[in-house]
Amino acid sequence: MKRRILSLLLIIMAAQLSWGTLRNPMMWADCPDPDVIRVGDTYYMVSTTMHLMPGAPIMRSKDFTNWETVSYLFDKLTDSPRYEMKGGTAYGRGQWATSLRFHNGRFYALFSTNDDVNADTYIMTAEKAEGPWEIHSRLPHFHDAALFFDDDSRVYVCYGTGDIVELSADMKSVVPGSRRKTFERDATERGLLEGSRMIKHGGKYYLLMISWPPGGIRRQVCYRADRIDGPYEKKVILESPFGGFGGGVAQGTIVDDGKGGWNGIFFQDRGGVGRVPMLVPCRWVDGWPVLGDENGRVPQAMPTGGNELKGNPTVTSDDFSAPALAKQWQWNHNPMDEAWSLTERKGWLRLKANQAPNLYLARNTISQRMEGPRCSASARIDISQMKDGDRAGMAAFNGHSGILTIARDGKRLTLAQTTTQVHLSDREKAVTKVDEETIEVIDIKGKHIELRIDADFTPGQDMATFYYRTKGKEWAPIGRPYRMRFDYRLFFMGTRYAIFNYATKEKGGQIDVDHFNYTKENH
């Protein structure tokens, strides 16, 4: 009898493992403004990365659980000198809210750069999601826009608050006189309406948007029409807090699984870690996509099927032995390619110091996301070639940062734990001031040092703690825990692990990073 019960339990466990279960959030990391499509048995997702380069990551998955970054839409942006930190910065600007489509055997992506009201909208295209991506056309600026291919091959852009334009057949211009307003907001929509995503299902048009009702939480609304130019009727399709975080889950899209099922992918603000995507069941009721469980809430867990895609996760360790930089890394603004190398010292990442007054204006700062509920990362650094005035180290990097800084001043070498807040001008996002508090400073010796930052993103925490060790020593804490913050007025993104090196006097120094070791706690 006991053997039969044990066999039954093993069968049940095997079935669960075969089909797979996802625990929300789908990805506990900064991945805002998601758009998701399915091509065959594979899902592809794009997200916002603003001033980070390369930008606009394309990720793929077969089960919504295991996502791998396979390409970026661009390596650099060059429309403004601010991407080179000249005349200002691109913090919180750059690429936003990309729309991803697959049409007639090609991938297309549309995004606007949020530099100013006259910034371009790009349409990028590629034969494969893995790239290479190329610019297909440039269009006028469209805010939070969605690219939409109708059944008759006419092409539209939905944007703003219910605006729509038609594009020429070659998608290189706007059809003159085609702009129209598809609906007028009702009395409950006095707040912001944005984040357009358009789909067609059962012959009807569905425009999904994020809604900010006064006094309420962020929610997802849907506008439905029989014709693309309306008239449209509205329904609230998701209004749900989740997981002990105050904000609602909204802004994203819905996608079918090719077998009659549907899911929604929408994000939630989660403080210091950023804006985190959730997987939400979607069912069609009276011609409307209704989101959530039987109570209209985001579920704790969902079955995902057994088609697991084996590949690199979106955040990972790196020993820098590969000939090219791993796709998990992104630079803060456009990198200076002549000032970093994976080949000058094989198995190490070399960062050469260029002049900067502070971390927020330091070129070639390299970073990866942090992840919840808890994660930890460490870096082993050769500091023997730092010069007088050089500053190098590791940070929990954002507009508000907790930093471990190695400083070379004459013959003295120190390690400090500091906290900073950057101040930016409204228009140019120029760095006008950096508030800095030094928590602890110690003298260090030797050629190598390891730095570590642990992060806790459980509800009410958002805490980073800092450690170091030298050869043969145990990890030692330094400074005090730091509360990480998300500030839409500054970076408008989640806190990231960053490794940096810059010169406050003369350039010419360098550091070599031996490895970046990363672990996270599963939720």
- For residues 491 and 375, membership in a common domain is answered with yes
Dihedral class, residue 446 (left if φ above 0, else alpha if ψ from -120 to 50, else beta):
left
Specify whether 279 is located in the same domain as 377. no
pTM given for the model: 0.93
Structural domain ending residue among the three candidates 303, 321, 346: 303
Which is nearest to 326 in space by CA: 190, 515, 45, 113?
515
DSSP letter for 11, please: H
Q: What residues have CB less than 8 Å from 284, skipping those under 6 apart?
A: 201, 202, 262, 290
Residue 484 belongs to domain with CATH number: 2.60.120.200
Same domain? For 210 and 339 the reply is no
Q: Which residue range is the domain that position 90 belongs to? A: 22-303
- Give a yes or no: residue 49 inside a domain: yes
347 shares its domain with 431: yes
Average of per-residue pLDDT across 409-431? 97
**Is residue 352 situated within a structural domain?**
yes
- pLDDT of residue 16 exceeding 80: no
What share of the chain in percent tops pLDDT 70? 95
pLDDT confidence of residue 264: 97
Angle at 189 between CA 188 and CA 193, to 5 degrees: 160
Length of the chain: 523
- 501-515 mean pLDDT: 96
What is each CA distance from 360 to 236, 339, 451, 505, in whole angstroms? Answer: 41, 17, 20, 16
Is residue 464 very low, low, confident or very high in pLDDT (cuts 50, 70, 90)?
Answer: very high
Nearest one of 126, 518, 125, 85 to 331, comparing CA atoms: 85
Residue 107 has pLDDT above 70, yes or no: yes
Are residues 136 and 262 located together in one domain of the fold?
Answer: yes
Q: What is the residue whose two structure tokens read 């990231």?
A: 496
Q: pLDDT tens digits, residue range 141-164?
A: 999 999 999 999 999 999 999 999
Are 356 and 287 members of one domain? Answer: no
Q: Is 4's pLDDT higher than 80?
A: no
> CA 7 to CA 10: how far, in whole Å?
5
Residue 3, pLDDT > 50, answer no
Does 340 share its domain with 391?
yes
Q: Which of 313, 312, 363 is nearest to 335 (CA)?
A: 363
Task: Identify whether residues 277 and 150 lie together within a single domain.
Answer: yes
pLDDT at 311: 59
505 occurs within a structural domain: yes
- Domain annotation covers residue 462: yes
> Which spans in 138-274 are helix H?
none
Residue 309 has pLDDT above 80, yes or no: no
Neighbours of 8 (CB within 10 A): 10
Q: What stretch of H or E contains 515?
A: strand 510-520
pLDDT tens digit string along 190-231? 777 899 999 999 999 999 999 988 888 899 999 999 999 999
Query: Is residue 8 helix, strand or coil?
Result: helix
In a domain, 321, yes or no: no
Q: Are residues 290 and 347 in the same domain?
A: no
Are residues 208 and 92 part of one domain?
yes
Per-residue confidence (pLDDT) for residue 213, from 0 to 100: 85
Whether 18 has a pLDDT exceeding 90, the answer reads no
pLDDT, position 5: 37
Q: Cα separations (Å) of 211 from 67, 127, 181, 316, 332?
A: 28, 35, 17, 35, 31
Phi and psi (nearest 5°) for 140? -60, 165
Query: Is residue 149 located within the same domain as residue 191?
Result: yes
Q: Does residue 441 belong to any structural domain of this protein? A: yes
Q: What is the mean pLDDT of residues 261-275?
A: 96
Whether residue 8 lies inside any domain: the answer is: no
**Which segment of 119-123, 126-130, 376-380 scores lowest on mean pLDDT?**
119-123
Phi, psi of 14, rounded to the nearest 5 degrees: -65, -40
CATH of the domain at 54: 2.115.10.20
Are 278 and 347 members of one domain?
A: no
What's the total number of domains in the chain? 2
Check whether 474 has a pLDDT greater than 50.
yes
Query: Taking all residues of the chain, what is their mean pLDDT, rounded to a whole number?
Result: 93
Question: Is residue 471 scored above 60 in pLDDT?
Answer: yes
148, part of any domain: yes
Last residue within a domain, chosen from 254, 284, 303: 303
